[in-house]
Each structure stands twice: as C-alpha cells, then as structure tokens.
C-alpha cells in the first residue's frame, strides 16, 4: 500500500497573472514597491556618515515568466564588499576584533514584502 496523491486544476490563474505583469502598467506598480524598499532600507541602515544609507538602489529583472526586484547598495569597502552586508552580517576588524552584525535589512523589507504578497494575491485570485 502506497501513498497516492491526486491533483486537479492547473496554473492558469498564475500564468494569466504573470502575463498581465508584463504590461507596462504593472512595471509602474513594481517600481512603486521597489522605491518603497529603497526608502525602507535607507531609513533602517545604521548611519555613521550616511553614505551607505544613501547608496541603495534597485533593478527590476524579467526572465521567462519571472519578475524580480533586486535591491543593491554600491557603497563598497576596500576589497569591494558592500558595506551594507558588513553591517548586516558583521565583520572582522584589522586588529583581529569582530564587529557583530545588525539584522536591519530583513525587518526593513518585511512590510514591503507583505504588501507585495497581499496585492499579488488579490491579482491572482481575480
């Protein structure tokens, strides 16, 4: 005796949603959320000089049926490591010490992700 799983239906609503997302109107919506993410990251970034906080930007990439927002920070340390990641995850110092990271990225973006998920669910279930 084995486990039997039956599935009915398909992905037609999800596929229709992704097709609608390729329309320029939806890119303006994605831009809105991407900008909200930049603002949230800028506000949450620990500030010394403010350069890292002011260095957030984003890209919207499409590939096949997928769309993603990528937030980036171009304030780099000596070896090309984003300072935003050093702040997030921690790092060693030149003297052999360790500076513990501060999880500021995930809490800053959580409300943006929640809003995106809520609105995408409304669109998919139309």
pLDDT of residue 75: 96
The beta-strand segments (E) located in the chain are 56-63, 66-73, 90-92, 98-100
User: Quick check: is 89 in a domain?
Assistant: yes
**Beta strands 56-63 and 66-73: pairing type?**
antiparallel
pLDDT bracket for residue 118 (50, 70, 90): confident
CB contact at 8 A, 58 and 68: no
Quote the tokens at residue 11: 């992905």
pLDDT of residue 66: 72
Closest CA to 67 of 115, 7, 120, 108: 120
Q: Total structural domains in the chain?
A: 1
Q: Say yes or no to pLDDT of 86 above 60.
A: yes
Angle at 107 between CA 82 and CA 56, to 5 degrees: 35
User: Quick check: is 110 in a domain?
Assistant: yes
User: Quick check: is 3 in a domain?
Assistant: no
pLDDT bracket for residue 114 (50, 70, 90): very high
H helices then E strands: how many in the chain?
4, 4
Round to whole Å and give the CA distance between 109 and 103: 11
Domain range for 29 = 17-124
User: Quick check: is 22 in a domain?
Assistant: yes
DSSP characters over 22-34? TSHHHHHHHHHHH
pLDDT of residue 125: 73
pLDDT of residue 91: 92
């Amino acid at each position: 005796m084995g486990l039997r799983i039956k599935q009915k239906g398909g992905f037609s609503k999800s596929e229709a949603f992704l097709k609608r997302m390729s329309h320029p109107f939806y890119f303006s919506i994605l831009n809105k959320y991407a900008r909200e993410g930049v603002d949230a990251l800028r506000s949450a970034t620990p500030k010394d000089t403010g350069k890292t906080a002011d260095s957030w930007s984003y890209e919207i990439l499409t590939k096949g049926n997928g769309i993603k927002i990528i937030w980036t920070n171009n304030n780099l340390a000596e070896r090309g490591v984003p300072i935003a990641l050093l702040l997030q995850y921690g790092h060693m110092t030149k003297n052999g010490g360790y500076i513990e990271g501060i999880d500021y990225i995930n809490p800053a973006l959580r409300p943006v992700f929640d809003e995106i998920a809520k609105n995408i669910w409304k669109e998919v279930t139309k």
